[in-house]
Amino acid sequence: MRPVLANLGFILQINGVPLVGPIVLGFYLDQSRALNAFFVTAIVSFVSGFALNAPCERRELNFKQSCELLFASYFCLSLVGSIPYFYLNVFRTEDWMLRFTNSFFESVSKRAQAWMAQRTHANEMPSLGFGM
């Protein structure tokens, strides 16, 4: 489990790097709310990544550990990616549980859509048999 956590921490640290662009743009455009949302997201990503990476050593992963890392990274990146949606309250919801659910779902769908956009022949993907 330790190699999975070490690699997950590394992925979370790398996830914080692209957030520097929106932070700089927020400073430039004087958008304090958006700046705060992305700053909190970057800090959470860097700190949680460091906390997972520091006590563990990165080693070669076997197949089972690679599958665990895939699931954990998808879940954790979606969880961290939901922070700006939650912080900015883009869904205009007062109920915090519904706001979290909507934010997390939006973050997960954003990651799945980015994966599908990388597929060059998406219409040739295997069907699940639902008449698609």
Whether pTM > 0.75 for this model: the answer is: yes
Per-residue pLDDT at 91: 86
**Confidence at 57, pLDDT banded by 50, 70, 90:** confident
Contacts of residue 108, defined as CB under 8 A and 6 or more positions apart, other chains included, come to: 78
Per-residue pLDDT at 40: 93
Torsional sign, CA 46, 1, 111, 90? negative
How far apart are the C-alpha atoms of 101 and 19, rounded to whole Å?
A: 22
Q: How far is CA 77 from CA 10, 45, 68, in A?
A: 12, 8, 14
How far apart are the C-alpha atoms of 128 and 77, rounded to whole Å?
A: 27
pLDDT at 75 over 60: yes
How far apart are the C-alpha atoms of 40 and 130, rounded to whole Å?
A: 42
Q: Which residue has the higher pLDDT, 108 or 56?
A: 108
- Which pair of structure tokens corresponds to residue 127? 């069907």
pLDDT at 45 over 90: yes
Q: How many CB atoms lie within 10 A of CB 16?
A: 19
